[in-house]
Amino acid sequence: MNRTEWLEVRRKTIGASDAPIILGISPWSSPHDIWISKMGMDATEETQAMRLGHYLQSGVAMEALHQIGGSILSEEDFAVHPNGWASATPDYVIRQDDDNVILEIKCTHEKSWDTVPEHYLLQVHWQCWVHGIDRAYIAVLHGSSQVKVYELQIDLFSDWFIDSVAHVKAWFDNHVSLAEEPAVTVKRNDALKAAIRAASGTSVDLSEEIIDKMRRIAQIKRETTPATDELSALEREVKEAIGTAEVGLYQGKTVVTYKETISKRFDTKKFQADRPDIAKDYLSETVSRRFLLKEDLILSLTEVTA
C-alpha cells in the first residue's frame, strides 16, 4: 500500500509506538495526542530530526548486522494483528540462525544505556506480538559514532505484557471505536515501568537501607584514610542486594551498576613453551563483574531525602 493508504489503516489501529504512550510510560507524547491522531485531526508535519533519523536508519542497521550477523528480510514491514485493532511497523525483520528476528533502530544523544528504556521494551514486544516473532534486538546510535546492539528477552506471556494489551484494548474501545475524548492530562505509570524492569531481570529497585549503605561507601572513598574493612563489608552487602541483576535503581534512577566484564590475559608459560610468534592464540579469557557506584548521585540523594 502507498503512504496514504498506510496512514489510513494506521489511524484505525493501535501501533507499537502508540501503546507506550497510551499506557503512560513514554516521554514523547500523551494519550490525548494519540486520540487526536486517530480521529484524523492532527496536522503533524515531518521534522528535520525525523528525516535525519530515517536517513541514518539503514547505516545503523548495517553496523548492527556486522556485529550480530544475519540478513535483512524486510524493511518497515507493516502488519495488522488478526484481532484487527493492533498493528506494528518494525524497522527491520532480519533472518538469523534460521529465525525471523525484529531489529529496531534508535538514535540518541546519550552515550550509553544501563538498561533499555521501558517504553522501547514495550514497543518491541508489541511488534513481536503483531508479527508472531519471539526474538528481537534494538540497535542504538549513541551520540554520533557508537552503535550498540541490545538483545531483548521477549516474553509475550508475561503478566505485564498481557495486562498492557488488555488496557490498550479497553482504551481503543472507548476512545477510538466510540470516539470518546480522553483526558488531556498525562498520568505516569510507574507501576508498569517497575513491572517491566523486574521482568527483564537486568535491574532491581533498591531499598532506602541499601541507599544509606551506598552513601556511606561514597563518603568512605572520599576520606583521606579510607576505612577499608568497613568499605569491603558495605560493598558486599550492596552486591548481595543487587543479586544477579546488573543495575540498581532508586526512585527510577540508576545509582549503581554491577556488570560482567571480560578480560584477556597473556598466558606466559604457554607462550614460552609453544609458539612465541603467535601471541594472540594464547590469550585466555576470564569473566568478572565490575562494581560501579554513582557516587555524586548517591551523595546528592542525601540532600533530597535527609
Measured CA to CA, the distance from residue 129 to residue 73 in angstroms comes to 18
Q: Which helix (H) or strand (E) holds 89?
A: none
Burial of 174 (0-12, 13-18, 19+ CB in 10 A): middle
Question: Regarding predicted confidence, which is higher, 96 or 278?
Answer: 96
Model confidence band, residue 306 (pLDDT cutoffs 50, 70, 90): very low
Res. 206: pLDDT tops 60 = yes
Please spell the DSSP secondary structure of 133-186, one letter per residue: ---EEEEEEETTTEEEEEEE---TTSHHHHHHHHHHHHHHIIIIIS-PPPPSS-
Q: Which residue has the cell 493492533?
A: 86
Taking residues 279-299, what's their average pLDDT? 75
Render pLDDT for 142-175 as a digit per residue (tens, 0 to 9). Answer: 988 899 999 998 999 999 999 999 999 999 999 9
- Mean pLDDT calculated for residue range 118-123: 96
Set out the domains of the chain in order of their start, with CATH numbers: 3-197 (3.90.320.10), 203-305 (no CATH)
